């Protein structure tokens, strides 16, 4: 194996992570930087791109180089990913003109979604983009900017997402990969693989959008200014990069048709790789990261964000104990939930605390708890949270089965996989076996591999399999099948019965 190192960095919702690896996938250094999510008003979710995205990137790379002690010139390539899709207007110098509007957890553009569906036609949008408009769509958010902050809209040189912003800071060039561009609906023509002049026209000029390329294409090299801020060597190749979820899928070997990743992060995100394009209005479709590959995606609006909300509001005692003794608050909540029978003794929770993305695509959906009695405890409620997310995941498997796209293999990743109870609940509800790598570094690890692929260190994306380590399996417990099948049916009916009330609220 040739000598040299690779760097991958990922900017997440609540923390950023970077990794320095050898060419055989051994980790030399890992750096993590926590940060905050800003919720300036209900339905909004923002990041300060300058301090969170670029600030974390610079700090992480500096930390990787310092801890490893390697020379910057030994880094063969850099790969970036970040949360997405996001909407950020920048000026001609690449400076943010406002805080970044985040992905589907930001639901501010509901009026713009309705307007564009009326103007362009929902059927035409779906036929062009392979997806319907939702809170995940970037086009309505750009239109929101145009309608609500016209001075900023007019001043914007480019409208970019998070990864594009990082790559532009590093190289001075604005690129977006096909996978991420597909979430800029209705702007991206899925079949043509380019921006649609007709559908862009009422929203933004094409020249104000990034250039589209493949994930592992070389976007450019590190500029002198970026080298001074990051510690990287000037001239280091930087790939186009992608969204965090796709990079995480690569990190655990989800690269072949029939393979699916379920990412337990702040939200649930699912990617299934396909050899042929397939679409359904309840899900999202895109080209995958490599020429000739396609995928279907799904995303719930809350999962880890919901468990965090529960901990912060219902377990202040456990947070205080964690600060004093180090005993993890989530672990204690899980212990309480583990004493509760499957089905939470009759509680069902709809996890729509920030609206919902797929498969209902309803930004006005609300979190709902039904079945409470005076006999229920905090443990019951926390188990209901975990099960509610599980029912939401299973709703997606219902859709995939309907359209003939049930995956052959499911790989689970993300912070939520630290909870054996949560994994078992999801396997029991969905009746699926989940493969869980013993050690998952995450999207940054996938980025390092993708950077190596981009600079020619590997011959094919299947080489990621040489990087994978021990994998365990979580097998469904048939004793819980009857209970969860009944409750999953009631879960789906509960939304149908309360949708009108949610919208009126």
Q: Say if residue 1's pLDDT is above 90.
A: no
3 state SS of 388: helix
Contacts 24+ apart (CB under 8 A), 33-36: 33/59, 33/60
- Mark out the alpha helices in 49-208 (DSSP H runs): 55-68, 110-120, 122-129, 139-148, 150-155, 162-171, 178-181, 197-200
**pLDDT for 160-185, tens place per residue?**
999 999 999 999 999 999 999 999 99
Transcribe 315-331 into DSSP letters: -HHHHHHHHHH---HHH
pLDDT value of position 349: 98
Same fold, 5-252+440-471 and 304-406+483-504: yes
pLDDT value of position 453: 98
Q: Mark 30-48 as b/e (b = at least 16 C-beta within 10 Å).
A: bbebebebeeeeebebbbb
**pLDDT for 288-328, tens place per residue?**
999 999 999 999 999 999 999 999 999 999 999 999 999 99
> Residue 88's pLDDT band (boundaries 50, 70, 90)?
very high
Average pLDDT over residues 71-92: 97
> Residue 131's pLDDT band (boundaries 50, 70, 90)?
confident
Pick the CATH number of 304-406+483-504 from 3.30.420.40, 3.30.9.10, 2.60.40.420, 1.10.8.640: 3.30.420.40
Average pLDDT over residues 464-491: 95
> Residue 280's pLDDT band (boundaries 50, 70, 90)?
very high
> Residue 40's pLDDT band (boundaries 50, 70, 90)?
very high
Any residues with CB less than 8 A from the CB of 203 and at least 6 apart, and which? 116, 139, 142, 143, 146, 186, 187
Average model confidence (pLDDT) across the chain: 96
Any residues with CB less than 8 A from the CB of 254 and at least 6 apart, and which? 260, 261, 271, 273, 411
3 state SS of 426: helix
Give the chain's count of helices (H) and strands (E): 17, 24
pLDDT value of position 441: 87
> Residue 51's pLDDT band (boundaries 50, 70, 90)?
very high
Would you list the domain boundaries of the chain? 5-252+440-471, 304-406+483-504
Q: Say if residue 2's pLDDT is above 80.
A: no
Q: Which CATH code for domain 5-252+440-471?
A: 3.30.420.40
DSSP E strands: which ranges in 326-414? 348-350, 368-370, 409-413
Determine the Cα–Cα distance for residues 498 and 172; give it in Å rounded to an integer.
50
> Residue 200's pLDDT band (boundaries 50, 70, 90)?
very high
Q: Tokens for 89? A: 């207007």
Give me the residue label for tokens 């104000």: 208
């Amino acid at each position: 194996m040739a000598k040299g190192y690779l760097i991958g960095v990922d900017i997440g919702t609540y923390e950023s992570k970077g990794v320095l690896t050898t060419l055989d996938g051994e980790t030399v250094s890992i750096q993590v930087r926590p940060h905050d999510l800003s919720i300036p008003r209900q339905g909004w979710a923002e990041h300060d791109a300058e301090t969170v995205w670029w600030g974390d990137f610079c700090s992480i790379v500096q930390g990787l180089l310092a801890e490893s002690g390697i020379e910057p010139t030994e880094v063969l390539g850099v790969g970036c990913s970040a949360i997405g899709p996001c909407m950020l207007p920048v000026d001609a110098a690449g400076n943010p003109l406002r805080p970044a509007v985040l992905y589907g957890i930001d639901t501010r553009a509901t009026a713009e979604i309705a307007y564009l569906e009326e103007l362009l036609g929902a059927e035409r949008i779906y036929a062009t983009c392979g997806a319907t408009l939702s809170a995940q769509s970037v086009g309505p958010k750009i239109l929101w900017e145009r309608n609500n902050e016209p001075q900023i809209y007019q001043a914007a040189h480019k409208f970019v997402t998070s990864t594009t912003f990082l790559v532009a800071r590093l190289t001075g060039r604005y690129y977006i990969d096909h996978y991420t561009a597909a979430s800029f609906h209705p702007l991206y023509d899925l079949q043509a693989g380019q921006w649609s002049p007709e559908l862009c026209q009422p929203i933004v000029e094409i020249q104000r959008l990034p250039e589209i390329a493949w994930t592992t294409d070389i976007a450019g090299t590190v500029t002198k200014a970026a080298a001074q801020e990051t510690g990287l060597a000037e001239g280091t190749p930087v790939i186009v990069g992608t969204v965090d979820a796709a990079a995480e899928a690569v990190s655990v070997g989800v690269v072949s048709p029939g393979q699916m990743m379920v990412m337990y992060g702040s939200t649930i995100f699912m990617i299934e790789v396909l050899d042929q394009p397939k679409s359904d209005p309840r899900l999202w479709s895109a080209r995958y990261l490599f020429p000739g590959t396609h995928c279907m995606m799904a995303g719930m609006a809350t999962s880890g964000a919901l468990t965090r909300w529960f901990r912060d509001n219902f377990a202040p005692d456990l947070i205080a104990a964690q600060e004093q003794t180090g005993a993890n608050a989530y672990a204690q909540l899980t212990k309480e939930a583990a004493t509760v029978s499957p089905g939470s003794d009759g509680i069902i929770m709809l996890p729509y605390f920030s609206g919902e993305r797929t498969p209902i695509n309803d930004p006005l959906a609300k979190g709902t708890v039904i079945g409470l009695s005076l006999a229920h405890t905090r443990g019951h409620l926390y188990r209901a949270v975990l099960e509610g997310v599980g029912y939401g995941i299973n709703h997606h498997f219902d859709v995939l089965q309907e359209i003939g796209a049930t995956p052959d293999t499911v790989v689970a990743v993300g912070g939520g996989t630290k909870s054996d109870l949560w994994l078992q609940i999801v396997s029991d509800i969905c009746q699926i076996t989940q493969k869980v790598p013993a050690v998952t570094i995450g999207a940054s690890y996938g980025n390092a591999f993708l950077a190596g692929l981009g600079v020619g260190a590997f011959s094919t994306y299947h080489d990621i399999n040489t990087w994978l380590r021990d994998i365990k399996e979580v097998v469904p417990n048939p004793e819980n099948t009857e209970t969860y099948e009944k409750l999953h049916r009631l879960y789906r009916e509960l939304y149908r019965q309360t949708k009108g009330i949610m919208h009126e609220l």
